[in-house]
Structure 1
Amino acid sequence: MAGKVKMVDTGDDDKVERGAYKIGSPITPIKPLKKLLVLDLNGLLARTIYRFQNLPFLNQRKPDGIFGSKLVFKRPFCDEFLQFCFSKFEVGLWSTIEKHNVDAVINFVMGGWKHKLLFTWYQSDSSDTGFKTLENDAKPLFLKELKKLWENENGSLPWSKGQFSSSNTLLIDDAPYTALKNPPNTAIFPHPYLVEHIHDDSIGPNGDLRVYLECLSVASNVPAYVEAHPFGQKAITATHPNWNFYSKIIKRERERERVAEAQNRASKRGPPPQMRGSPLPHPRFEAVDREKTCPLLLRVFTKIGHHHTKEDFAVRGKEPEDEVQIYTWKDATLHELTDLVKEVAPEARRRDAKLSFAFVYPDKNGRYVVRPVGMTHSYGIGRRPDDGKALAELGFQIGNYLDVAIL
């Protein structure tokens, strides 16, 4: 019955809560599984600014730390908040900042508490969308995909797969876009802490965030609690005023996943069987050991009817929107790339579709060139002459784009 604790009489006055003991003598209490709290750093626990920023309130506060050209200001009540978090939750820290910067800030902000973190993740553990944030067109937009924590694929985290999930994990971040790919109601987004917030008490003993987490710690299900008790900024959904921008990110991420799945299936199948027609010529380049060689990132742009023009690539950062990014190797053939394009572009699956491939790169004067390199058929009997041509054989250089016209 909710609110009541049933006691187990052991015969020797040893009594523990039911569900919090294991069978055997003597009885050993087992701590119930705490929920996983994933904390952001800058904007939640502290604020980092550049020393040369001439802000009027800086004469009212002394920084808690200085490293390089940056000043670090701990949020008021930060120490008490960390003590509370570690007592109620399993705690990890995830920042989209580069590792050397995160480590420097942690030393000032967390002190001895940093050794209690289950994990510390950085920009390298985040997903780079290829987009820039709306707030700062020079800042890359990264995602924090919680499934990476839950699945623990490489076994580097101190728990087994399935121990944490959407039901018992909460991400706290002041940037709602970081959670674009996560299940609903697995994150809350407090308004960002700024240095001028001298009297901020949100994470203090009676602060709104502290009280919220106190209640969440005893809730049975994280998404159910978050849905019933909205906090801070709203999550990004189809009703968001900038949904047109964020939906493009979601679309590209889904395309990436489809391509990755297709590549995974292809690697399990092995090389495609020899098709009817003339045999493939021996490649005029050294084959790549795909088991030992790190793949390269290839930016692929598709267009129906014809290729993009060189003017479409003239401005860096404003390339065509119909892009998908794939990881592959320089010995990938146009036949392999055709199968990948078919995974993400429905038009390429037509029985009579032809795909024209072109490399896009800047010439010696910095002006972009669109150079056709081959053509394949989506379907058909027999192997076409260009099917077996590989990127390296065609003169591909790392950094080139691949433009695909679907005809």
Structure 2
Amino acid sequence: MDKESGLIQRKPRVLYSSDDDESYYSDDSADEDQGPKQKLLVLPLGGFLCARVYKKSKTKVRIPRNRQPDGDFEKFYVYKRPYCEDFVKFCLERFEVGIWSSASGWNTEETLECVIGGLENKLLFTWDQRKCTGPMYQSFLENKNKTLFLKDLSTLLVFLRIDGIDYKPSEALLIETDPYKSFLNPPDTSIFLDEYSVKNVSDDKLGPDGKLRKYLDNLSKAEDVPSFVKANPFGNPAITSSHPHWSSCSEMIRIYGD
């Protein structure tokens, strides 16, 4: 990723094999021998692969006494979620994987290196706050001063296309912990999961026996993403017209949507 612009780097496609920790590279001429194109999986970072605790708020967050941070940065600590690296490897075997964080660039870069290390160069892209839509302040948020950043799937697909990678919305899944961030996206192109808490040291939702892995494995074999997601609800519900904040959400769609 270009550190200044946040754009996707043009680079050889990295192919990942579960039988070998080494990656190897391929040019476009070999694509026709690789079988059907893998679907695109977009993962969040903080709250999903790890928990970030800002040092100013550490006294307000109950952290188990025997838990030490995996990363200690200028303004925050990083606590890796159990199985996070193995989960990313699992995803790389079945999808083209990108990371899209709503955190700032320096925050995302340091956190990602801490959480998945050498797997970073196997990702299709890494995006941060600069490619989100926003920021916006919304009165319905629990924290009135919190800025809301939206992740517009159409923006991502346009930039991928510029980089020579063509995906349709029906071929992409966005995983999020906050349904608000997916306001602008087509129905059934996202699933919403509970945010990971630093207090949950025994969390196994990313583990080999977790329901999420089975769900994603089945999705990777499905005809398209929306049909599968609609037929197989998973996690927390999306925001629909029955939601108490739907009018505010609709206004954001009117302003920022097509």
TM-score, scaled relative to structure 1 = 0.53
- Aligned equivalent of 1:223: 226
Check if 1:253 corresponds to 2:256.
Answer: yes
Q: Among all aligned residue pairs of Structure 1 and Structure 2, give the percentage whose two residues are the same amino acid.
A: 41
| Partner secondary structure for residue 77 of structure 2 | strand
List per-residue Cα deviations over 1:66-99 (Å, max 9, x = no partner). 1013110111111110110111100011011110
Task: Give, in whole Å, the separation in 2 of the partners of 1:169 and 1:60.
Answer: 39
Instruction: State the match for 1:41 in structure 2.
Output: 45
CA distances 1:167-208 after superposition (whole Å, capped 9, x unpaired) = 110000101111101000000011111101111111100112
Deviation (angstroms), 1:131: 2.8
Tell me the alpha carbon deviations over residues 314-342 of structure 1, each in whole angstroms, 9 at most, x when there is no partner.
xxxxxxxxxxxxxxxxxxxxxxxxxxxxx
Give the match for residue 120 of structure 1. Answer: 126
**Correspondences of 1:342-381 after superposition (within 5 Å):** none
Aligned-partner residue type, residue 98 of structure 1? S
Match of 1:164 among 153, 164, 167: 167
Name the count of aligned residue pairs.
224
Structure with greater proportional helix content:
2
1:195 to 183, 186, 198: 198
Letter in 2 for 1:171: L
Equivalent of 2:77 in 71, 76, 79: 71
1:80 partnered with 2:86: yes
Query: Is 2:34 aligned against 1:30?
Result: yes
Which structure 1 residue ranges, 5 or more long, are not aligned? 1-27, 258-407
The 1-side partners of 2:54 and 2:135 are apart by 26
Letter paired with 1:40: P
1:327-338 to 2 correspondence within 5 Å?
none
SS at structure 1 position matched to 2:136: strand
Which residue does the alignment assign to 1:145?
Answer: 152
Larger Rg: 1
Identify the residue that residue 246 of structure 2 maps to in structure 1.
243
**d(CA) in 2 for partners of 1:144, 1:188:** 13
CA distance in 1, matches of 2:67, 2:184: 38
User: For the Cα contact (< 8 Å) 2:188–2:226, is it kept in 1?
Assistant: yes
Q: Distance in 2 between matches of 1:51 and 1:253?
A: 34
Which residues of structure 2 form unaligned runs of 5+? 1-31
Which deviations, in whole Å up to 9, do the C-alpha atoms of 1:278-311 show, x marking residues without a partner? xxxxxxxxxxxxxxxxxxxxxxxxxxxxxxxxxx
CA contact (8 A) 1:131 1:249 kept: no
> CA contact under 8 A between 1:129 and 1:253: conserved in structure 2?
no
- The 3-state SS of whatever aligns with 1:128 is strand
Q: State how far apart, in whole Å, the 1-side matches of 2:75 and 2:107 are.
A: 11
Question: Deviation at 1:138?
Answer: 1.6
Runs of 4+ with deviation above 4 angstroms:
none
What is the 5 A alignment of 1:105-116? Answer: 105-116=111-122
* Residues 135-184 of structure 1 deviation map (CA, whole Å, 9 limit, x = unaligned): 322221111111112223882x3x33xx2112110000101111101000
